Chains A and B, each alone.
Chain A
Amino acid sequence: MRRAVFGAAPIGLVALAVLLLVGPGLAAEVDEEEVRRIAAGLRCPVCQNLSVADSPSEMAKQMRQLIRERLAAGVRPEEVVAYFTEKYGEWILLAPKPEGFNLLVWTLPFAGLLGGLVGVLLVVRRWSRRPAPAAEAVDPAYRERIKAELDRLDGS
Chain B
Amino acid sequence: MSWRRLWIPLSVLPLLGLLAYGFRTDPRAVPSPLVGRPAPPFTLTLFDDGALRLDDLRGKVVVLNFWASWCYPACYEEAPVLEEGWRTYQDRGAVIVGIDIQDTEEGARRFIEQFGLTFPNGPDPRGKISIDYGVYGVPETFFIDRQGRIRAKHVGAVTAPLLRERLEALLEEPA
Q: Which of A45, A65, A87, A88 contacts B126 (CB 8 A)?
A: A65
Query: Is A89's CB under 8 angstroms from B131's CB?
Result: no
Q: Which of B33, B127, B128, B137 contacts A88 (CB 8 A)?
A: B33
Q: Does A15 contact B (CB under 8 A)?
A: no
Q: Which of B34, B102, B137 contacts A87 (CB 8 A)?
A: B34
Known pairs A58-B102, A66-B127; A46 contacts B31 (CB<8 A): no
Known pairs A62-B127, A66-B127, A66-B128; A88 contacts B102 (CB<8 A): no
Who on chain A is nearest to B133 by CB?
A87
| Nearest chain A CB to B139 CB, angstrom units | 13
**Residues of A within 8 Å of B, CB-based: how many?**
15
Query: Is B127's CB under 8 angstroms from A59's CB?
Result: yes
Query: Is A46's CB under 8 angstroms from B136's CB?
Result: yes
Known pairs A59-B102, A65-B126, A66-B127; A91 contacts B31 (CB<8 A): yes
Query: Is B131's CB under 8 angstroms from A63's CB?
Result: yes
Query: Is A46's CB under 8 angstroms from B127's CB?
Result: no
Contacts of B102 in A (CB 8 A): 58-59, 62
Counting chain A CB atoms within 10 Å of each CB, which of B33, B34, B131 scores highest? B131
Q: Does B93 contact A (CB under 8 A)?
A: no
Contacts of A65 in B (CB 8 A): 126-127
Known pairs A45-B136, A45-B137; A89 contacts B128 (CB<8 A): no
Number of contact residues on B: which range applies? 10 to 19
Contacts of B30 in A (CB 8 A): 45, 88-89, 91
Q: Cα distance A66–B128 when bound, in Å?
A: 8
Q: Cα distance A46–B127 when bound, in Å?
A: 13
Query: Is A89's CB under 8 angstroms from B33's CB?
Result: yes
Who on chain B is nearest to A60 by CB?
B127
Query: Is A87's CB under 8 angstroms from B131's CB?
Result: yes
- List, sorted by A's number, 18 A–B pairs whose CB atoms are closer than 8 Å: A45-B30, A45-B136, A46-B137, A59-B127, A59-B131, A63-B127, A65-B127, A66-B131, A84-B131, A86-B33, A87-B33, A87-B131, A87-B132, A87-B134, A88-B33, A89-B31, A89-B33, A91-B31
Lowest 5 CB-CB distances: which A-B pairs, in order?
A62-B127, A45-B136, A87-B134, A89-B33, A58-B102
Question: What would 14 more interface pairs be, CB under 8 Å, given A62-B130, A88-B33?
Answer: A45-B30, A58-B102, A58-B127, A59-B127, A62-B127, A63-B131, A66-B126, A87-B131, A87-B133, A87-B134, A89-B31, A89-B32, A91-B30, A91-B31
